[in-house]
Amino acid sequence: MFIKHRTCSSTAGFTLAEALIAFGLSSIVVTGILASFLGCGRSLLSLSNYTALNQSSQTAVDQLTREIRSVSCLTNFTTAVITNSSQPWFTTITNSVTFVPAGGSLTNSNNWVTFKYTPATRTLARTQSGTNRVLLTNCSFLNFQMFKRNQTNGTFIPIPTSSPAQTKIVQVNWICASINPMMPSQTESVESAKVVIRSK
């Protein structure tokens, strides 16, 4: 008499090797998905930083160009020595310019407009009649340059000047940065504007 024994191979579970392989593959898939989400998050954060920087820089450019274009003249400027600059070839910058506004007087300095960059606080501020307003923050570099009405012979390049009375064109360059601990590197915005004083 023969007795057939039922085997349980058809109902057996995963072996240890199969379980380890399945766990490894699942880990790879989950890691890839998480890396993709993190990459998208960094991209969105970087885009948000660039947008905020560009908006603040554009607002400052509009303010500077509108006011400098309409002033009567440049009265004076100051310089500052910088050490930790993102522009290592600059050791001395023109960090402050003061103008007589349209309709203002050379004898009444209370109404003069000053744009001053302070390297220690990394800010650009506008001051008039004792009122101070910050235009830019996190500014790692800023420099004003003055030019005459005349141009270099044979070119359209204006001639630099250190005389306020001869200044016809004012150029300003700056670099602003936004540092976020979630980003591997800081976001930078580089701006440059050259403004002609119309009344000169």
Judged against a pLDDT cut of 90, whether residue 3 lies above it is answered with no
d(CA 50, CA 45): 9
- Give the model confidence (pLDDT) of 149-198 as tens digits: 877 677 778 899 999 999 999 999 998 887 665 555 566 778 889 999 98
Assessment of whether the complete model's pTM goes beyond 0.75: no
At 71, the amino acid letter reads V
> CB neighbours (10 Å) of residue 16?
7
Mean pLDDT taken over the chain: 81
Q: Which residues of 164-199 are buried (b: 16+ CB within 10 A; e: fewer)?
A: eeebbbbbbbbbbbbeeeeeeeebbbebebebebee
Residue 46 binned pLDDT confidence (cut-offs 50, 70, 90) = low
What are 163's two structure tokens? 């005389």
3-state helix, strand, coil in the chain (%, to 5): 30, 35, 30
